[in-house]
Amino acid sequence: LVLGGLRATPARFRVRAVRAGRRSGGSRLRFSLTRAAKITLSIRPAARCAGGSAKTRRCRARTLTLHGRAGSNRLTLSGRVAGKALPVGRFLAAVVAVDARGVRSAPVGLRFTVLR
């Protein structure tokens, strides 16, 4: 199982508004898969997390799970996870695909910035 060609366009975006009518904000996420699989995006702040010692310092990851088909895939990243907007700042997303047989892809990193 190979997850490839991962990119966000634009990599700097505003959180998409939750109102009817005009849609603005968000980013288009594109990637390809060799087989249909469940995709997990684990999103963390790019900056160091505050508090605790270096060994105990942990950033709470926010996770998105979705299904991808074999071949080219694209989806909209709104800047919201579980209905809550990501705060302004830089983020790292670790993306992993797992197919129906439990085969995991190598993790792929993605950087993006949420603007005010």
- Residue 39 binned pLDDT confidence (cut-offs 50, 70, 90): very high
For 51-65, how does the pLDDT look when each residue is reduced to its tens digit (9 = 90+)? 655 555 567 789 999
Q: Compute the distance between CA of residue 82 and CA of residue 69 in angstroms, rounded to an integer.
A: 23
The CA-based angle 40-105-109, given to 5 degrees, is 60
Asked if residue 82 has pLDDT above 90, the reply is no
Letter string b/e over residues 72-97, b meaning 16 or more CB atoms within 10 A of that residue's CB: ebeeebbbbeeeebbeeeebbbebbb
Peptide bond into 45 cis (omega under 30): no
**This prediction's pTM:** 0.82
